[in-house]
Structures are given as C-alpha cells and as structure tokens.
Amino acid sequence: MKKWYDVSGPESESVISSCVHLSRNMRGIPFPAGLTASEKAAVVKRTCRAVFSKNSSIARDFHFIDMASMSLGEAIALAERGVVSADFIENRCGCGLLVSEDEAECILVNGDDHFLIQVRLPGLALKESYALADRLDTILDKSLNFAFDKRLGYLTCNPALLGTGMIVSLNLHLPALAETGAAARISSNLQPLGISFYSALSPSAERHGAIFRLSNRMTLGLSENEAITNLCGIA
C-alpha cells in the first residue's frame, strides 16, 4: 500500500497536507508525566485491548509499535515522516504507537497526554481528516472513557488545548510569499482571528523551502467544525 504522502490530494499545487490532532486523556488517571513505568505500561495495554479486541471495528486498521524497543534511527525515521514528534521519540520509554499501513492514521500513547489521535491526508482535506479522527475518537472513548468537563471540554495537560483538544493545520507551499517576505505581516493579521501562520522550516531555510503552516490557536469556545471552516476559509 502507498503511504499517504505518495498520493496527490486536492489543491496539491499549494496545499501539501492536512492534519488533525486530537489530544485525549482517560478519566481518573494522572497525565503521563505523573505516571510510573508500570502505570504507563497499563495505559498502553488498555489501549491495545480497546483497539485490537475481537469486536473492534478498527482492529485490522492498525499495528502496534513499542517505541522503547525501536532503535534511535528507526524512531528518527518515524519523526522525519511526520508520524511522531521529536519530543515523543526523545522520551519514548513507556510510549506506544498504533499506526495504519499508509501512516495516515496514528494513535500516540503516553506522550504529553495519554493519547494523541493524528490523521494526515494529502492536499486540502481537513474535513476528511477530521472525519477519520472523529471516528477513532468515538470508538476509543467507548472503551477508554475520555476525561471531559461540561464547562471546559476535553481535559488536557496543556491548558491551551482545553475545549475541543483539537489542532488542525495545513502545510502550504507558497514560494511567491517567501520571495516577497510578507509572511510576518500575514501572521500578524491572522493572530486576532485565532489563527497561527508561520514557516514550517527554520528561518534560514524559509525562502528556499517556502513551506508554511496554517493552524488554529483557539480550542475553547468554538466547535470542531467551526475551527475547520475558519481555517479552510482562510486557505
């Protein structure tokens, strides 16, 4: 099977990829930073039971990777493909990864939060990415009982993610923008709208790569669909 990044998506001339992140935690269990090694192992075991149970509708969609058993080179390769973050591989003891064959859908276990549901698709496909992430969210919540407060929304280790616990982003290829140097002005104009716009590369490589990231900054006070609509409207 081809990886998601080997396939061309809608508006691929300027939109490289769409990504949805959902941060989730189990009710009544401390965040991963406060867990012992055995407690982290229990979270991983419970997650695998939820995904791979006999009655699970997603059991055949994922395979499990024990991050601690991977070599550093293998872990770095995952980070280079965008499957995991650099922080996740640096502190990978007690961490697990469930990933689909095309690497479009991932569930990171015991990172900053108990779970990070991640979906990446090529091109402009935020609605499709969210549909896949929401499906995983719904299925896992039935077994894992995600922590949710009626006033604050989903409870996360980072207060900035309270509410939907969702970050949606687009990776954009904008060479003309890089040449004119207008990125800083656009970023400043978008901040009051709760939108972040920044170079996805180092400052020294910005003009050569011309890869920019557009993402939501607000997770409290608006729905998932509103956040996606706002971002798509700007893109």
Query: Which residues make Cβ contacts (< 8 Å) with residue 27, sequence separation at least 6?
Result: 145, 146, 147, 148
Q: How many structural domains compose the chain?
A: 1
Q: What is the CATH number of the domain that holds 212?
A: 3.30.590.10
CA dist., res. 93 & res. 77, Å (int): 17
Strand partners of residue 216: 195
Selection from 186, 176, 175 nearest residue 235 by Cα: 186
CB 213 within 8 A of CB 197: yes
Determine how β-strand 96-99 pairs with β-strand 105-109.
Answer: antiparallel
Hey, what amino acid is at 83? Answer: V
Mean pLDDT of 110-120: 98
CB 214 within 8 A of CB 151: no
Query: Which residues make Cβ contacts (< 8 Å) with residue 166, sequence separation at least 6?
Result: 20, 21, 22, 23, 216, 219, 224, 227
Q: Is 85 exposed, middle or buried (0-12, 13-18, 19+ CB in 10 A)?
A: middle
Beta-strand runs (E) in the chain: 15-24, 63-66, 96-99, 105-109, 115-122, 148-149, 153-154, 166-173, 195-199, 211-216
Q: What is the residue range of 166's domain? A: 4-234
**pLDDT per residue as tens digits for the range 35-76:** 999 999 999 999 999 999 988 999 999 999 999 999 999 999
| Pick from 55-64, 79-88, 207-216: least confident | 207-216
Q: How confident is the prediction for the chain on average, in pLDDT?
A: 93
Q: Is the pTM of this model over 0.85?
A: yes
**pLDDT per residue as tens digits for the range 84-107:** 999 999 888 999 999 999 999 999
Mean pLDDT of 15-33: 97
